[in-house]
Amino acid sequence: MDSSPHPVTVRKRGAVCLIVIDHPPVNAASHAVRSGVMQALLAAETDDTVSAIVIRCEGRTFVAGADIREFGQPPGDPTLPALCLRIEAASKPVVAAIHGTALGGGCEIALACHGRIADASARLGLPEVKLGLIPGAGGTQRLPRLIGVPAAVGMVATGRMMAAAEALDRGLIDAVATGDLTSDAVSFAEKLAGDTARASEGADAAMALPLRRTGDLPVPPFDAAAIATEIDVIERKARGQLSPGVGARCVLAAATMDLAAGLAHERGAFANLLASEQSAALRHVFFAERAASRVVALEGVAARPVNCVGVAGAGTMGAGIAVALAEAGYQVIVAERTQDAAEAGRSRIEGLHQRAAESGRISQQAAAARMAATIVGHDIAAFAPCDLVIEAVFDDLAVKQDLFAALSGIVRPDAVLATNTSYLDPNQIGAAASQPERVVGLHFFSPAHVMRLVEIVATGQTAPDVLATAFAVARRLNKLAVLAGCCDGFIGNRIFSSYRKQCEYMLEDGALPHEIDAAMEAFGLPMGPFAVFDLAGLDIAWARRKRLAATRNLAERYVRIADQLCELGRFGQKSGAGWYVYENGKRRVDAGVTTIIEAEAQRSGVQRRSIGADEIRTRIIAAMVNEGARILGEGMAQRASDIDLVFINGYGWPAWRGGPMFQADRMGLGTILEEVERMQARDGAGWEPAPLLVEMARSGRLFGG
Ligand code: 3HC
């Protein structure tokens, strides 16, 4: 972060003192900012020529929070809570002039002011929950005094931002600027100063000035039983993450405690969370997300312009991609192979837009506009005007190669060709195109309009500006893009394959599917692996195993249980049975599966024993980390934190656990290595410790740095 020598300056507009924060990139409330604002405030209070104060920011935003990079260091005076108290106690009116995003500590500064005025495009929020924290400078105590407990609980527990119009409606701000924000804020501050002066002229000297101090306001009455129920729901939905519930309960405390007690209570809870593993994990994720798009080789490389995007194939994946593209404002051209398939694809796409409208997420007009921007047909010649074509056709090399060869004769030579393959080699697909350097992998996760992750796969030949184009498109789609090298399964599916194998080994070794699922759900996964396999369908992986059977390493341990389930027609939820049985939508443990597992263990000569939840988790994490270390060692991922992001955003890994590589650091790489060595001894080929893991464990280094 830029540490400008004077992040806070003071200007005068008539009798109004402007305290201006200029601390790029997001005006975070660093120590220098806090002390600068405090000094300026104290000076303005004692300056007789000043009647009121406005706090505003230069650059793209109002203060976007406490400075996360300073967490872990001694706070340094003035602390943010002390600054907020001092602002609130000021003898002259203080007005916050808000543009961009007033978040966390920035929102708390605004809450402590006597007036708040915002640009029409500004947003306010307390997103600390996303960092495993709660507001620590009065947010949970002042917000409910302005907007009531129910709305404040909602904001604190979800971290959602509130747009200026809603903030005005709810009383979070006093006005939306109609002209220049600073001028409007100055006029507002002058008005408050005038009111104050008039009130004090006729007043008893001992009477407090009638400045509207948020902390003095009563908490509006609310339905306590309804809030208690809501907090229960918040805690249940958080699945082990602490901050949403703790934040909601602190808001509730504002109704029963006076301001000083409420602030102390909030500060204690904040300090506990700041020291927690959960917050460390979520802060790791925050910085990991910002690092993911940084590709050294792409610095200064301009992306090719993309306005019109083609999607080949309108099955589940193609339709999801088309919807995501239309949502992001692209002109979309979809082509299927036959008229019937195109019709089916059109109704699939229309259905997804319609569902978004019915859920209230978008308006009917927006749904109609997105459909109008999408042309669906059955002739790939329609792709001629496309700047980018994404193929989402059947995952078969010959099919994809034929398509890329045909596309080469249709689209402009500078149009980018992207493959959404999950397992095929994009190099081989790209070789069929007239210019392989314009080929890139864009691996979406299903459903593509919902899942945030996209793996961007660079083939050996992808041109830098093509790679930059892929990142630019992913950014416009609001996706989290992670760069992956060309290897079987890329980052996610390659590691997932080790995860899956180790889960199946554990069945033979003594665990049952529901025990493994329970262990991972207790860890924070929304669904255990076997329930997920059933949901996704067992037949796809079975087909792949059969395809690869001829080339499989016979020295590697192979568990046949999944094959046996498939041979019995148990393909998962869609066939009513898989690892579990399904009746009326309910999942039930099946004694028949236990029998198959026990018989297979016997056939393999494995003596089953009970495996506890801790061992289940350690084996899974160690299997993932070993493969992750191999991927890093081979240069298939740029950094360990990218691997964490893949699992958090593509496979439901709880963000508050920080991802498998983060977990490995916390567990100790020595512990992970010992577990992998046990795997090698027990499971044989394929489970050799990754050289990078060995090297790091022995030298005491961590994946985090
Ligand atoms: N502290 C330190 N650095 C921050 C920061 C913060 N609060 N917020 C953002 N940054 C940094 C980012 O790390 C990034 O740095 P980089 O360029 O070196 O990678 C840079 O600012 C720009 O951030 P983004 O790439 O995220 O920029 P966007 O324009 O996409 O988003 C934003 C801007 C909406 C402000 C987003 O950065 C954001 O959500 N920031 C976090 C806000 C937040 O969580 N605030 C609460 C902090 S905790 C707190 O306030 C505790 C208090 O209650 C006591």
Mean pLDDT across 499-524: 97
Nearest CA owner, ligand 1 atom 19: 290
Indicate whether 354 pLDDT > 60: yes
The dihedral sign for the CA sequence 385, 387, 393, 399: positive
DSSP H or E stretch at residue 29: none
Q: How many CB atoms lie within 10 A of CB 629?
A: 28
Distance 126 CA to ligand 1 centre (A): 12
pLDDT at 198: 66
Q: What pTM, to 2 d.p., does this model score?
A: 0.94
List, for residues 556-575, the tens digit of each pLDDT value. Answer: 899 999 999 999 999 999 99
Instruction: Tell me how long the chain is.
Output: 705
CB 86 within 8 A of CB 44: no
Name the residue among 540, 414, 425 with its Cα closest to residue 484: 425
CB 507 within 8 A of CB 597: yes
Nearest CA owner, ligand 1 atom 24: 290
The dihedral sign for the CA sequence 268, 270, 272, 274: negative
Indicate whether 167 pLDDT > 60: yes
List, for residues 248-265, the tens digit of each pLDDT value. Answer: 999 999 999 999 999 999
Backbone torsions φ then ψ of 483, nearest 5 degrees: -80, 130
Indicate whether 544 pLDDT > 90: no
CB 499 within 8 A of CB 623: yes
CATH superfamily of 307-484: NAD(P)-binding Rossmann-like Domain (3.40.50.720)
pLDDT at 205: 46
List, for residues 440-480, the tens digit of each pLDDT value. Answer: 999 999 999 999 999 999 998 999 999 999 999 999 999 99
Q: How many CB atoms lie within 10 A of CB 478?
A: 10
CA distances in angstroms from 70 to 63, 83, 130, 236, 284, listed in the order given: 15, 16, 17, 32, 14
Ligand 1 neighbour 33 (Cβ under 6 A) = no
**Residue 3, both tokens:** 């540490």
Mean pLDDT across 41-57: 97
Which of the two residues, 395 and 320, has the higher pLDDT score? 320
CB 162 within 8 A of CB 124: yes
What is the domain partition of the chain in residue ranges?
A: 8-274, 307-484, 492-604+611-699
CA separation for the pair 629, 635 (Å, rounded): 10
CA separation for the pair 184, 615 (Å, rounded): 62
CA separation for the pair 290, 45 (Å, rounded): 40
CA separation for the pair 696, 408 (Å, rounded): 46
Ligand 1 neighbour 489 (Cβ under 6 A) = no
Indicate whether 491 pLDDT > 90: yes
Distance 237 CA to ligand 1 centre (A): 25
What is the SS3 string spanning 357-424?
HHCCCCCHHHHHHHHHCEEEECCHHHHCCCCEEEECCCCCHHHHHHHHHHHHCCCCCCCEEEECCCCC
User: Is 105 a residue of the active site?
Assistant: yes
Mean pLDDT across 124-153: 98
Quote the mean pLDDT of the chain.
95
CATH superfamily of 8-274: 2-enoyl-CoA Hydratase; Chain A, domain 1 (3.90.226.10)
DSSP letter (8 states) at residue 635: T
Distance 512 CA to ligand 1 centre (A): 44
Ligand 1 neighbour 143 (Cβ under 6 A) = no
Mean pLDDT across 526-534: 95
Name the residue among 118, 94, 82 with its Cα closest to residue 19: 94
Mean pLDDT across 650-663: 96
Residue from 2, 3, 26, 34 whose mutation best tests the ligand 1 pocket (most atoms within 8 A of CB): 26
pLDDT at 555: 87
CA separation for the pair 587, 573 (Å, rounded): 9
Strands annotated E in 537-675: 581-583, 586-588
User: Is 598 a residue of the active site?
Assistant: no
CA separation for the pair 55, 182 (Å, rounded): 9
Tell me the Cα Rg of the chain: 29
- Of the ranges 200-214, 393-407, 422-436, 633-647, which is most confident? 633-647
pLDDT at 501: 95
Residue 200 confidence class, pLDDT cut points 50, 70, 90: low
Residue 206 confidence class, pLDDT cut points 50, 70, 90: very low
List, for residues 70-79, the tens digit of each pLDDT value. Answer: 998 888 899 9
List, for residues 261-299, the tens digit of each pLDDT value. Answer: 999 999 999 999 999 999 999 999 999 999 998 998 899
User: Is 562 a residue of the active site?
Assistant: no
Backbone torsions φ then ψ of 575, nearest 5 degrees: -105, 10
What is the SS3 string spanning 78-107?
CCHHHHHHHHHHCCCCEEEEECCEEECHHH
Provide, rounded to the nearest whole percent, the portion of the chain with pLDDT above 90. 90
Distance 606 CA to ligand 1 centre (A): 52
CA distances in angstroms from 90 to 33, 209, 212, 464, 576, listed in the order given: 18, 10, 11, 55, 67
Residue 199 confidence class, pLDDT cut points 50, 70, 90: low
CB 97 within 8 A of CB 56: yes
Mean pLDDT across 182-193: 96
What dotted CATH number matches 492-604+611-699? 1.10.1040.50
Indicate whether 1 pLDDT > 80: no
Distance 65 CA to ligand 1 centre (A): 7
pLDDT at 5: 65
pLDDT at 208: 46
List, for residues 612-628, the tens digit of each pLDDT value. Answer: 999 999 999 999 999 99
Ligand 1 neighbour 128 (Cβ under 6 A) = yes
Residue from 4, 34, 68 whose mutation best tests the ligand 1 pocket (most atoms within 8 A of CB): 68
Preceding peptide of 5 cis, ω within 30°: no
